Structure 1
Amino acid sequence: MTDPTGAKPMTIMIASDTYPPHINGAAQFGYRLSQGMRKRGHDVHVVTFRDSVGPSISGPEDGAMIHRLRSHSVPTHEYWRICLPWEIKKDIVRIFDQVRPDVVHVQCHYMVGKAVVEEAGRRGIRTVATNHFMPENLDPFLPFPKWFKKIVARNSWRDMGKVFRRAAAVTTPTPLAAKAMHKHAFLRKVLPVSNGIDAAAYELRPDEEVAMPENPMVLFVGRLAEEKHVDVLIEAVSKTPPEFKLHVEVVGGGEVRNALEERTAELGMSDRVMFRGAISDEELRLAYIRSTIFCMPGTAELQSLVTLEAMSASKPVVLADAMALPHLVDEGVNGYLFPPGDSDALAKKLTTILSLSDEDRKTMGKASREMVNKHSIDETLSTFESLYRGDAAADKVE
């Protein structure tokens, strides 16, 4: 595939503090963005962390050139790594000298993103900045009291404003997230641009048959972190009528997995909850197809790509009434919202869907699939191409 506008290909530098093998929405978006732009004929370079000990290295990964910077483990997190500014500065200068990008697209305002924005500014290179951050995302890294976390969150918003004000265009996945950036980071112009999704990738293929589980299954996909509140889902399922024999499939790893397994055992749910850890993209696709309902109990979702993926697989959804999740629910049509942290309310919503006929559940799933159409990945890529080139229409923001 090439750029549908027929314009000259660009050399694009994408910078992010999180990227595969990290498993989270921002990392997945960065990967899909790099792959999408590469398939459109652009020369794509990704600047991110190295996921092991050693000096900065560069090399091709899935067709894109990945520049992985020297990094260090974080004692408060099982897999996260950070890049220290004074260690990566020279490497970033070197990468700019080698790549000579036409445009830079940063996915964060932390160490890597900030350093790349500063270097791009010194060289007069157009910069686009996208925010995937919420203060709650910091909780796993900060084993401190809430009052201290509030101070850190406030300072992080302030730093975001300082870094992103240097960009020619600033985006975030949803209007609600843009509003939060206006309020907390004091950024006047923020363009809501969906992370985008290839909805067809999660549908049954022609003549494909997938073995369905014996019992109904509610699926959760995501990092097992405090703000995801997977414990609320497990408790809710334990409160659903026993005759439904509802099971839970949990996909993803993270710092609270052991605590979740302990809570599952306490509830006598070990035979009904399956922790699968990290799985391949194809295994994940099949998990969506096999599921009966998708649930996202998290309270810090700027868009929730995994919810969009489940909706693409034509599944009813039950989501926490928090952050951007309400935008993905047409109450009673494709699913339901529940008050965050309320396992009783979640149990009732799950029971409502389980009580429907197979045909009515399929109708809810079809409604989910139809709602995803406005989140086309092709439209997202075209929007960013326009922002990269500085097209006047793309720069118009609320």
Structure 2
Amino acid sequence: MPSASSAPSGDLAGRSRGFDPGDPLGLDELLDAEELAVRDTVRRWAAERVLPRIADWYERGELPEIRELTRELGALGALGMSLHGYGCAGASAVSYGLTCLELEAADSGIRSLVSVQGSLAMYAIHRFGSEEQRREWLPRMAAGEVIGCFGLTEPDHGSDPAGMRTRAERRGGDWVLTGRKTWITNGSVAGVAVVWARTEEGVRGFLVPAGTPGFAAAEIRHKGSLRASVTSELTLDGVRLPAAAALPEGRGLRAPLGCLSHARHGIVWGAMGAARTCFETALGYARTREQFGRPIGGFQLTQAKLADMAVELHKGLLLAWHLGRRLDAGRLRPEQVSFGKLNNVREALGICRAARTILGANGISLEYPVMRHMANLESVLTYEGTSEMHQLVLGKALTGLDAFRG
């Protein structure tokens, strides 16, 4: 057996650099220079622009600077950033994921603003729209001059969009839309809504500009989660649209579900941002908060919590990175996105709850970010597919048996 002195120098080379509690697995080494630059740029913007104000916005239940924030995010290239052309950045899926990570480390509402704008509304137009529709809307949306929303969920049909009641009927050369959509992020500030409706030909997508007669958007109040986010109900009362308002390739339920799958990739990363903030808050608190004459971080139970939190956080980051690389390579499957969303949001919630216990009573104070992130993640757990729906997606993939309507 070789002696310790004769062991290869690379075996424990990491010891010479010391252990980094912020990056215990050395995950930064998986990122290239451009990805690190994107991450750091978004992190600085969030620290300067969002963090000083977010607790107040959350407590007031509003996002008063949404239009200014959207234009600033457009200037950063964060809107529709993985799309190509029409003023979009054409960045990698990993760069987009890192952007979502840093935005949600500030607040889930800010990441939701970007996700809905880029991964739902802009992606739908980019993927399913006509060339004229792309040219009309995408450059202004990429710049943050126009905000978009995505109208799929209905009051009686959330997890089962196939049961939607919103209808579009042909009237001469026009379409007439009637129905309601709810829990629509950005709805009441959007300049254009991507609305999905049932037609005689099946589900189709339509672009509904704000101000169209018969179209109204009312903000939903009294939320206990995602309070620093605009959430709305859309009403379509005989909304008449020209034939050119229909997304020519947006036919069938697979179209909106494909948009959701694209957006869920950002959630896989974003949830880990919220978890990271709560972990870092708990770690800092444990090092300084004293009980029984010593910092609580010196007690075994607290260290066990912190160790488990760190393990799940960085496992989740590894999963996000792996799925991002698969998306960049064109090999990411919807079932794998469900895998990521199910695991990372669920584990992020667990990390936030453990952080809350470490902070004790201070954990419920908005002086700290933990309760805010914890409450936000309750919404993230539900939207764009509940945990139960993603379990069934994986269950079907594993067994070959469809349990959705069993």
TM range (shorter): under 0.3
Please report the TM-score for the alignment, with normalisation by the length of structure 1. Answer: 0.25
Highest CA radius of gyration, 1 or 2?
2
Please report the TM-score for the alignment, with normalisation by the length of structure 2. Answer: 0.24
Bigger relative CO (Cα 8 Å, ≥ 6 apart) = 2
